[in-house]
Amino acid sequence: MGQLRVDFTGARGGEGPVTLGQGNVLEWIGAQRQERSDILCRFVPVPVGVTAADIGEVLAVLIARHEALRTTIVPGERARQVVTAVGSLTVELTELDGPDVEPLLRESLAGQPFDYAEDLPVRVAVATRDGVPHLVALALSHLATDFASISLVAAQLAAMMADPALRVVGPTAHQPLDQAALEATEPARRRAGAAVRFWENQLRRMPQCVFSVPAAGEEGCREGYLSSPAAGLALPAIVARTGVSHSTVLLAAAATLLAVRTGNARGALVSICGNRFRPGMADYVGTIAQDALVPFELGESTVDAVIRGVQVATMNAYRYSQFEARRLWPVMDRVATERGTRFQRDCVFNDVGAHGEVRVIDPTPPTAVALAAQQSSFSWLPATSYPVAFYFTVISAGSDVRLALYADTRYLPPADIEGFLRGVEALLVASAAREVPVAEVPAITGIVPVDRGDGWVCVDSCWVELAEVRRVLAEATGGQAAVFGSDELVGYVVADEKPQAIHEKCVALLPGRYTAMAPGRYVVCAAAPDDLDDLDAWRSMPVLAEGTGR
């Protein structure tokens, strides 16, 4: 075990405001400095004959070429990015035994969060066998790169190791300091403002979450992985018939099965938008991906119609996926107060395989697609943690479609995680041969609607469990409470507060409580009846205050 010192010299240093992407990442890692996606890792095999000195030379070029890799962040109300022109990086040389060294390298590099105000946002280790380099491990802060960026960095690393002629910094490219300056222009500021307005319009009308369903399993989380050659063969036929992208077909398939499973004909997925379609951004190294809010509606026609609807929704949502996070949060709070709902961001879609993936173009006969379904394989991925109920990842959408599904096992137990992934495969295989009616989806996929039972109502497009609303109201006030209604929820409660104060406390309790919303009207009573479930008895109690609390 040893170390390699890498000295680098960039074309410039400088300081400026953070970009929208950097600001977005700062918001979600500010309170909790380490989540799984806070640090991104890649592993690059070392070609035969490449020495540690060669790797050092390549890394020096990479860091000089990309200012994001030599940028620290000064946090605060007006956070700043600081680019250093000259510096050094220490690379660990680690002699490792065993065939699978990636988990050990990942733990050593990503086990601790970056100090983004002090540390370079890049860590590198080189695994050796008998002293000969055979694998380079990269760990980059999400403040420096997103999935597309780290893929670009890894590809350039591999190319320069293989070809010494490529080990030049090259002409100055678009850098995060340039991006921040661009975002400060008036047209860009108008677009960012329009994005916040788009989100507000969607938040006012869509269900607050998709998984407003009864718990079906034990508390926990798992992530399943499906490798499906059949889906890879099926996609080209669906793409050819519908005229949309591979990614959109997979997003629509996931949305369709979500709608069937949860009984939510309408819903919304957060799709991580790479924002690489914008001019000059294809090869940008920096964090620019942000959330796009994609509404979907199942309808009663065909899966193809759902796919085309999702295509329109995604194109619109991706237009509004660059915004200043600090300006969006107050809007979310205001909508939450006015509606009595809280956007839960419970379902996320991310196509990380879209960067440089080679697609299959020629459609395959349906019989061959169906036969290939026998070759699919399912396995479990290492333990992960996301603050969501459902995270659907497209790892690859080429000849072999590889999908991962992370889920909160309260809502999707382990068997249902596997069942959902295989359901997506089955839907794609069926759709390769014909337009599938939505009514046939449960029979084709095995995904059937959840049974909510009694005590559930649909209010303002949200499925709500009356008992959970009662618990929220009682917890907010510390008093006896009851909730009644269908079109409007009316909360009766014994408390010494006014409706506005009670409503604020109820809304504050909604994050993470998928099946609850705040009542639409509050009736504060001097006492509670003996039977809390008796509406007429509540109505006979002396009323101290009444109102919406809005």
- Cα torsion 202, 405, 386, 25: sign: negative
Q: Would you place residue 34 in the very low, low, confident or very high pLDDT band (cuts 50, 70, 90)?
A: very low
Mean pLDDT of all residues in 82-110: 88
pLDDT value at residue 358: 46
Return the number of other C-beta atoms located less than 10 Å from residue 540's C-beta. 10
Please provide residue 39's backbone torsions phi and psi, each rounded to the nearest 5 degrees: -125, 130
pLDDT value at residue 355: 56
Half-sphere exposure of 302 (CA within 13 A, CB side): 12
Give the pLDDT confidence of 408-464 residue by residue, as tens digits: 999 999 999 999 999 999 999 999 999 999 999 999 999 999 999 999 999 999 999
CATH fold group of domain 2-174: Chloramphenicol Acetyltransferase (3.30.559)
Q: Which of 85-89, 295-299, 360-364 comes out lowest in average pLDDT?
A: 360-364
Give the pLDDT confidence of 383-399 residue by residue, as tens digits: 778 889 999 999 999 88
- pLDDT, mean over the chain: 93
Q: Would you place residue 362 in the very low, low, confident or very high pLDDT band (cuts 50, 70, 90)?
A: low
Give the pLDDT confidence of 290-313 residue by residue, as tens digits: 999 999 998 879 999 999 999 999
Between 104 and 70, residue with greater pLDDT: 70
The DSSP secondary structure of 99-125, one letter per residue, reads S--HHHHHHHHHSS---TTTS-SEEEE
Amino acid sitting at position 75: P
- Tokens for 234? 């099926």
Return the number of other C-beta atoms located less than 10 Å from residue 531's C-beta. 11
pLDDT value at residue 110: 85
Mean pLDDT of all residues in 143-158: 95
pLDDT value at residue 32: 53
Between 98 and 187, residue with greater pLDDT: 187
Task: Provide the 8-state DSSP code for 437.
Answer: B
- Residues ≥6 apart with Cβ < 8 Å to 438: 256, 298, 299, 300, 301, 302, 303, 306
Burial of 453 (0-12, 13-18, 19+ CB in 10 A): exposed
Would you say residue 353 has pLDDT above 90? Answer: no
Residue whose token pair is 């006969």: 365
Whether the domain at 209-321+343-445 and the domain at 456-547 fall into the same CATH topology: no
CATH 3.30.300.30 given to domain 456-547: yes
Q: What b/e readout covers 157-167, taking b as 16+ CB neighbours within 10 angstroms?
A: bbebbeeeeee
Q: Identify the CA nearest to 232 among candidates 399, 394, 368, 374.
A: 399
Between 100 and 25, residue with greater pLDDT: 25
User: Do the Cβ atoms of 20 and 281 come closer than 8 Å?
Assistant: no
Would you say residue 519 has pLDDT above 50? Answer: yes
**Which pairing describes strands 2-9 and 80-83: parallel, antiparallel, or unpaired?**
unpaired
Please indicate, yes or no, whether the overall pTM of this predicted structure exceeds 0.85: yes
- Residues ≥6 apart with Cβ < 8 Å to 450: 213, 214, 216, 261, 262, 263
Domain ranges, ordered by start, for the chain: 2-174, 209-321+343-445, 456-547
Helices (H), 292-377: 303-319, 325-339, 366-372
CATH 2.60.40.420 given to domain 209-321+343-445: no
pLDDT value at residue 278: 83
Give the pLDDT confidence of 161-183 residue by residue, as tens digits: 999 999 999 998 999 999 999 99
